Structure 1
């Protein structure tokens, strides 16, 4: 029995590609261990993402004529507002990414507070997000309902498909559209290093090989290629070059649609309304 994963993407595209960046900055480190607030060396890794990673990535995206989605925690919005404004000025999408990047899916009250506080920070920066991505994919069913209540169009936290789908909430009502991702398409497992829990940093060629192999098959299946990156990781010099090489590889395939999360979700919602998905 064949299980169809293909989506009739706009303008006859065979595959949709999202270039997404989780702009966590220092919160990636403080959410793991609050003692890191007093460790300038550790925090400098996250600060690189804001100081240099974001501007250099925006430069690359502009040169390549590509849209992107940046998922930004509220703390990052408040403490790196100039970079948020820079992202908006370049015409990219900003999505919701909690407030402090804490993993709190097992604590409904804390999860709700993280969501509401992050939403308020985005609003203060003039951003009404259409999408949400939870830290490390940790999201509860309750938060999906909260997203729907606040009118968010899509979530990008789960890993159970290669094509978008609609969440159905406990009461039977429609939830957000899911735009799935996967750890194999995230730069962190390959290149995020911590002295507290050291692990190898893989060669860029290793990351590129897996990303290319995943794209090749998702393209064949007709799904969504949702690439997850971090300015403090892929914003490093050689990895910006890696991203350029990945984009060049993708462009060797005909009928590929580069889009923001909001554009993908809106297109899928239109297909849903027409009964085509």
Structure 2
């Protein structure tokens, strides 16, 4: 039976007002969800027979990620790529190129299955299989995690803690990092997401889930306005970009022009998820 009692979904206290590094007044967390074909397979196993549907995800390794890496190099930005274990197994050279440029690769499940609908065995398999893949193929152990399909559960949060995952970037309930409070005690640091920066909502349509697509002017205006107000509030703007969307020709211009806009300010700290976590933990230790 589900617990519908009146209590907050998140029991963590208010986000601490830790200063940003380098005397900056706000922050940008550029982050990409590398689902590749796994997002389509995880949504419907029958898509294994639908080569054109899967080709949406295949675009990431063939074109999207290389073009995004070019843009990030031009702006001297280091980002985090939340990559499914399946995508690492399928596209190892693409993932190696991400690491070579100094970006972070973090955990995004193995087959992009929803944690809130999975049984315990599936949760553990999705977690451990992806970690094993990262260690075996890339020689890394992930510090961070982003929930596939933008959803999680109490069981999944405890699993993150038990596997040594230091941070999550999935929740939508703040503009500054904070630490989760779990039933077992202190949990991972959260770098909260701004859903306005989820490019999937603006730029991908499919025959089984048709939706209106938004042009460059509309999306860029939303991104600029959200960033500018978050900057005034001293928060972090956390992005949720997908190379099979933002890596498309017109849409990569939105990212390019948005980074131009951000670089127009001199008070913005830009970091990877692990950098945010290192800073948060250092401030936390200093305050204790």
Q: What TM-score, normalized by structure 2, do the two folds share?
A: 0.91
In 2: Cα distance, 1:23 partner to 1:32 partner: 15
**1:134 matched to 2:147:** yes
In 2: Cα distance, 1:4 partner to 1:102 partner: 29
**1:268 matched to 2:280:** yes
**Deviation above 2 Å: which 4+ runs of structure 1?**
3-7
In 1: Cα distance, 2:219 partner to 2:117 partner: 31
Change (3 A) 1:4 1:53: closer
What is the aligned length? 273
- 1:20 aligns with 31
In 2: Cα distance, 1:202 partner to 1:17 partner: 23
Question: What is the Cα-based RMSD across aligned positions, in Å?
Answer: 1.5
**1:252 matched to 2:257:** no
Matched position secondary structure for 1:105: helix
Pairing of 1:31-70 with structure 2 (within 5 A) = 31-70=42-81
Deviation at 1:182, TM superposition (A): 2.8
Pairing of 1:49-198 with structure 2 (within 5 A) = 49-109=60-120, 110-125=122-137, 126-171=139-184, 173-198=185-210
Task: Spell out, residue by residue over 1:251-275, the C-alpha distance to the aligned partner (whole angstroms, 9 max, x if none).
Answer: 2222111100100111111111122
Matched position secondary structure for 2:180: strand
In 2: Cα distance, 1:129 partner to 1:243 partner: 26
- 2:213 aligns with 201
Q: Unaligned 5+ residue runs, structure 2?
A: 1-13
Change (3 A) 1:139 1:191: same
In 2: Cα distance, 1:260 partner to 1:95 partner: 10
Task: Spell out, residue by residue over 1:19-70, the C-alpha distance to the aligned partner (whole angstroms, 9 max, x if none).
Answer: 1110100012111111111111111111001111111111111121110100
Q: Unaligned 5+ residue runs, structure 1?
A: none
Change (3 A) 1:271 1:108: farther
